[in-house]
Amino acid sequence: MREAWIIDAARSPRGRGKPGKGAMTHLHPQRCLAQVLNGLKDKSGLDPADVEDVVMGCGSGNGDHAHDIARMSVLDAGWPMSVSGVTLHRFCGSGQQSVNFAAMGVMSGQQECVVAGGVEFMSRPAPLHAKGFTANNEHLFARYPMVPQGISADLIATVEGFSREDCDRLAVSSQQRAAEAIAEGRFKDALVPIHNDDGTLALDRDEHPRPGTTIEDLSGLQPSFEQMGQTIQEGYDETFDDMCKRVYPDIDKVNHVHHAGNSSGVVDGASAMLVTSPEFAQSRGFKPRARIVAAATAGTEPVIMLTAPAPAAKNVLKKAGMSKSDIDLWEVNEAFASVVLKFVRELDVDHDVLNVNGGAMALGHPIGATGAMLIQTALDELERRDQSTALIAMCTGGGMGTASIIERI
């Protein structure tokens, strides 16, 4: 099987995802992704006419994200009409899955040049017209009464015995690491400044981090999901917490430990990565930065939902014929603090090589875009440290995980 090479990558800043409070909230998500596509083009020297497909992840697919935002953003970017686009949805893992699918297309010999990534403007939610993850399917709900992800994260903490203090310590570390990375300019080369339609600058830096955050600061925040979990919501006949206790009868209650400070930030953003075959890269004079060694997914129990990053990581290590000791750096999406704590416990990963530039608790999690951002962050840090190999893993809705291993060339 031939290799899939990462030539380059680009991302927007992560803007605060609250309408009227974030610097990019007035922009259409297509406009942001279009600018990132052109930023990747300019950075890499890519001729867009060579691109066979643009594969983008998006966790919404409704409202302003509807109607194949990948193709619409290609057109908005002014790329040739011959360049197709497809949008995929694997919840929070959508952006990583887009890169993995691009790699698979290249490795199989079916494609030579693919752009992959994702986009999400969380400031622009649209009605789903569906009751929870089971989308109005009462038969499925009777089998798996899936609850909102924040309650699943609290359920992980309850089952695993993670305290609020455990979660808060991890969140403070994320903020400290992100602040250091920003101060040292580690994200500078990755960022594409996003402009308004009149050409003025909208945002050129990550907007969500709160440097200087302390344990004391976080201790004053109210749990985000306690009231939701303990109150019967419209359309249901029992509380979400009672659903959790029914599926996990060994627990007496759900301990609600997550809040705005130890959960991933609500942000807007877009990402793009150029993936090619070695032959194509050599024919265009591209210098590869890394190869995508292997990709994998995993599924786990869907009510607790967010426990599959470790199984996905184990699967991708097996596919690559590698062991944990072969990995220099780890990126695990900080959807919630308990997700990362569970991963560390299961794989016994040293915190010193995990999310070394902070994660989504500090930087934010633009759902469909985050996966490609994490891969780019891992690659940039490998280069900065002159190391070789990174493993990137994410949890997703529905009880799934995604994983990739990259290796510098």
Q: Is 365 a catalytic residue?
A: yes
> CB neighbours (10 Å) of residue 299?
13
Check if the beta carbon of residue 368 is closer than 8 Å to that of residue 60: yes
User: Closest by alpha carbon to 98, among 9, 187, 207?
Assistant: 9
Kindly name the residue from 58, 113, 167, 395 that is annotated as catalytic: 395
Helix (H) or strand (E) holding 323, with range, is: none
Helices then strands, counting H and E runs in the chain, come out as 14, 12
Query: What angle (nearest 5°) sits at the alpha carbon of residue 382, between those of residues 315 and 333?
Result: 50
Nearest Cα neighbor of 356 from 177, 191, 236 is 177
Cβ neighbour number for residue 237 with a 10 Å cutoff: 6
pLDDT at 1 over 90: no
Return the structure tokens found at 173.
């570390």
Contacts with 59 (C-beta within 8 Å, 6 or more apart), sequence order:
89, 91, 92, 94, 120, 367, 368
Is 395 noted as a catalytic residue in this protein?
yes
- pLDDT band, residue 210 (cuts 50/70/90): very high
Q: Is the Cβ–Cβ distance between 190 and 9 less than 8 Å?
A: yes
Neighbouring C-alpha atoms within 13 Å toward the C-beta of 244:
28
Whole-angstrom distance, CA of residue 225 vs CA of residue 152: 10
Query: Catalytic: which of 28, 32, 65, 92?
Result: 92
261-317 pLDDT tens trace: 999 999 999 999 999 999 999 999 999 999 999 999 999 999 999 999 999 999 999
CB burial readout 75-99, b (16+ within 10 A) else e: ebbebeeebebebbbbbbbbbbbbb
Question: Concatenated DSSP letters for 60-113?
Answer: --SGGGTTTHHHHHHHHTT--TT-EEEEE-BTBTHHHHHHHHHHHHHHTTS-SE
Assess whether pLDDT exceeds 90 at residue 363: yes
Respond yes or no: is residue 129 known to be catalytic.
no
**What per-residue confidence (pLDDT) applies to 298?**
98
The pLDDT tens digits for 53-82 are 999 999 999 999 999 999 999 999 999 999
- pTM for this structure? 0.98
Confidence of residue 128 (pLDDT cuts 50, 70, 90): confident
Interaxial angle between packed helices 240-247 and 149-160, expressed in degrees from 0 to 180 and rounded to the nearest 10: 40
Q: CB of 309 within 8 A of CB of 393?
A: yes
Report the C-alpha gap between 52 and 114 in whole angstroms: 6
Separation of first and last alpha carbons in the chain: 17
Residue 394: helix, strand or coil by DSSP? strand
Write out pLDDT tens, residues 233-257. Answer: 999 999 999 999 999 999 999 999 9
Where are the strands (E) in 277-326, listed by range?
Answer: 290-299
Q: Is the pLDDT of residue 127 over 90?
A: no
What average pLDDT does the segment 154-182 reach? 98
Question: Mean of the per-residue pLDDT values for the chain?
Answer: 98
